[in-house]
């Protein structure tokens, strides 16, 4: 076997150097040289030799035989929902999240269930076999058929998997895995990229469903090169507070299912348990109504979700009033407050505005715009809104209330939970109405503010 040669490439300008240097000699940037395997250059005469007759490999798209994708149920309904119906053979799923949020716990539960019917291998590079065994016993899991491997070298992992021939495999975590082809330390950009590439190729060739655990940075993004997310088939993020009880698993990329699909779990002494009706949890409101609180309906993946938006508007005692949003886009908050001032006649330029989505949910869509503004107005005026009120709609810069997708399904979901009044965009209002709930369609922000007096 010929010796593998390595080189160092600048991530800023692409300059190549045979040795590592702290500064690139081409663009003068610091700490930008990363190690990678040097690609073999084909001989000049043989450069185009392999292309003869390659046109025979082409085929029409209509000639490709369609095959239904077989799914492997993980026995965790919320995880299956996020994955798009279950695991797909040959797929690679990357799971990220803060330390201690439950990544290893949910994968250990999943693998113990799958080992009853599938050949499963759990590869751990962070914990010992004794630690994994202790966790399984604490969670009451039956791991008699689960294969456990404590290894960090990717070549050894692949060689072991070739002998065992697993159907499902877990790598926990990719930042601890290294390849002997590179000399850099595990967790580096080059090591993560090359190790992941080898594991993905092996999983695709053998048809193995592969879970890969990834660490995150202090900003919440997956650590390592950005290409890591492009190499895998699905990227799942764990959200929520470590001290809180509930965990949210969100799909930000999925080649086999819906993007932004959301699964809700509750952390218990027996591990993560599925929450079948998450809206009931996020609507655990106080018995006594308070100003600055309103409920909205967001659409997460393939189902509606009811969440409570709280606002606190108070006189500012500093030169620049604060704008704080937890679970919402803070830049959008500043924009919507400007719309409220221009088109609603409600001024908050001298007020501190704090917004929070109850339960640790992060609202990604714009359907919460109208609920955000009505909650802020309610707090500013100290006007208590009815607890049976539901609000949703996107607010434009001209003060218009724009429709949102699946409007009637949102209204029906609110009715199921006992809501009796709904302020919605005109385009989302049902023509025949909905029995049991009063729908107030609005087209402008001023109409929405006036409708608060009609409730």
Q: Which of 217, 252, 276 is the last residue of a domain?
A: 276
Per-residue pLDDT of the chain (455 residues; tens, 9 = 90+): 456 778 888 877 778 888 888 888 888 888 888 887 775 555 555 554 555 554 567 888 888 887 777 889 998 999 999 999 899 999 999 999 888 889 999 999 999 999 999 999 999 999 999 999 999 999 999 989 999 999 999 999 999 999 999 999 999 989 999 998 888 888 888 888 899 999 999 999 999 999 999 988 777 777 767 788 899 999 999 887 766 788 889 899 999 988 878 898 988 888 899 988 888 777 765 567 789 999 999 998 788 899 999 999 999 988 899 999 998 999 999 999 999 999 999 999 899 999 999 877 888 889 999 999 999 999 999 999 998 999 999 999 999 999 999 999 999 999 998 899 999 999 999 988 788 899 999 999 999 999 988 77
Cα–Cα distance for residue pair 84/161, rounded to 1 Å:
26
User: Are both 272 and 287 inside the same structural domain?
Assistant: no
Q: Are 113 and 74 in contact (CB under 8 A)?
A: yes
Q: Are 184 and 190 in contact (CB under 8 A)?
A: yes
Q: Which of 236, 260, 276 is the last residue of a domain?
A: 276
Query: Structural domain tally of the chain?
Result: 3
The number of residues in the chain equals 455
What CA–CA distances, in Å, run from 96 to 122, 196, 198? 17, 15, 20
User: Are both 167 and 207 inside the same structural domain?
Assistant: yes
Please check whether residue 46 lies inside any domain of the structure. no
Residue 249, H or E segment: strand 246-254
User: Are both 439 and 317 inside the same structural domain?
Assistant: yes
* Tokens of residue 359, six digits: 């339960």
Cα–Cα distance for residue pair 171/121, rounded to 1 Å:
9
The DSSP result for 290-341, as a single string, is -TTEEEEEEEETTEEEEEEEEEEEEE--SSS--EEEESS-HHHHHHHHHHHH
Please check whether residue 332 lies inside any domain of the structure. yes
User: Are both 180 and 83 inside the same structural domain?
Assistant: yes
Please check whether residue 47 lies inside any domain of the structure. no
User: Are both 264 and 127 inside the same structural domain?
Assistant: yes
Q: Which of 227, 252, 276 is the last residue of a domain?
A: 276
Q: Are 73 and 85 in contact (CB under 8 A)?
A: no
User: Are both 383 and 293 inside the same structural domain?
Assistant: yes
- Structural domain that includes position 255: 71-276
* Tokens of residue 334, six digits: 């500043």
User: Are both 136 and 263 inside the same structural domain?
Assistant: yes
User: Are both 24 and 92 inside the same structural domain?
Assistant: no
Prediction pTM value: 0.78
Cα–Cα distance for residue pair 248/334, rounded to 1 Å:
27
Q: Are 392 and 296 in contact (CB under 8 A)?
A: yes
Q: Are 394 and 402 in contact (CB under 8 A)?
A: yes
Cα–Cα distance for residue pair 10/25, rounded to 1 Å:
9
Q: Are 105 and 240 in contact (CB under 8 A)?
A: no
User: Are both 232 and 294 inside the same structural domain?
Assistant: no
User: Are both 396 and 435 inside the same structural domain?
Assistant: yes
The pLDDT, as a whole number, for residue 12 is 72
User: Are both 240 and 312 inside the same structural domain?
Assistant: no
Which CATH number characterizes residue 287's domain? 3.30.230.10
The pLDDT, as a whole number, for residue 381 is 93
């Amino acid at each position: 076997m010929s010796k593998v040669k390595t080189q160092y490439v600048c991530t800023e300008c692409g300059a190549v150097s045979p040795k590592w240097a702290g500064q690139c000699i081409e663009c003068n940037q610091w700490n930008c040289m990363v190690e990678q395997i040097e690609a073999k250059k084909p001989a000049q005469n043989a450069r185009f030799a392999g292309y003869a007759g390659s046109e025979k490999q082409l085929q029409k798209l209509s000639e490709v035989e369609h095959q239904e994708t077989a799914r492997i149920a993980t026995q965790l309904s919320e995880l299956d929902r996020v994955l798009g119906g279950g695991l797909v053979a040959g797929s690679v799923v990357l799971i990220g999240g803060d330390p201690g949020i439950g990544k290893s716990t949910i994968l250990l539960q999943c693998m113990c269930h799958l080992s009853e019917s599938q050949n499963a291998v759990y590869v751990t590079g962070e914990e010992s076999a004794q630690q994994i065994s202790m966790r399984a016993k604490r969670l009451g899991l039956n791991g008699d058929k689960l294969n456990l491997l404590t290894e960090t070298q990717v070549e050894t992992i692949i060689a072991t998997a070739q002998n065992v021939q697993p159907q499902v495999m877990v790598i926990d975590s990719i930042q601890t895995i290294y390849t002997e082809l590179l000399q850099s330390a595990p967790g580096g950009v080059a090591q993560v990229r090359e190790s992941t590439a080898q594991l993905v190729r092996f999983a695709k060739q053998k048809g193995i469903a592969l879970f890969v655990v990834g660490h995150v940075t202090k900003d919440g993004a997956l650590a390592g090169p950005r290409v890591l997310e492009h190499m895998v088939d699905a990227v799942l993020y764990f959200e929520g507070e470590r001290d809180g009880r509930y965990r949210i698993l969100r799909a930000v990329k999925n080649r086999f299912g819906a993007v932004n699909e959301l699964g809700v779990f509750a952390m218990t002494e027996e591990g993560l348990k599925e929450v079948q009706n998450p809206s009931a949890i996020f609507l655990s409101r106080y018995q006594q109504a308070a100003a600055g609180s309103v409920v909205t309906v967001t659409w997460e993946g393939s189902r509606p979700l009811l969440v409570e938006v709280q606002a606190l508007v108070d006189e500012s005692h500093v030169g620049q009033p604060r704008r704080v949003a937890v679970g919402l886009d803070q830049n959008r908050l500043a924009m919507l407050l400007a719309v409220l001032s221009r088109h609603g006649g409600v001024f908050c330029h001298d007020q501190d505005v704090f917004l929070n989505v109850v339960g640790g949910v992060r609202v990604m869509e714009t359907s919460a715009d109208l609920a955000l503004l009505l909650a802020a107005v309610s707090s500013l005026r100290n006007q208590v809104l009815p607890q049976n009120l539901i609000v949703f709609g996107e607010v434009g810069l001209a003060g218009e209330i724009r429709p949102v997708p699946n409007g009637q399904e949102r209204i029906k979901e609110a009715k199921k939970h006992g809501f009796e009044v709904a302020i919605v965009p005109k385009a989302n209002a049902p023509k025949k109405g909905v029995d049991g709930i009063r729908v107030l369609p609005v087209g402008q922000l001023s109409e929405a503010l006036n409708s608060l007096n009609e409730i």
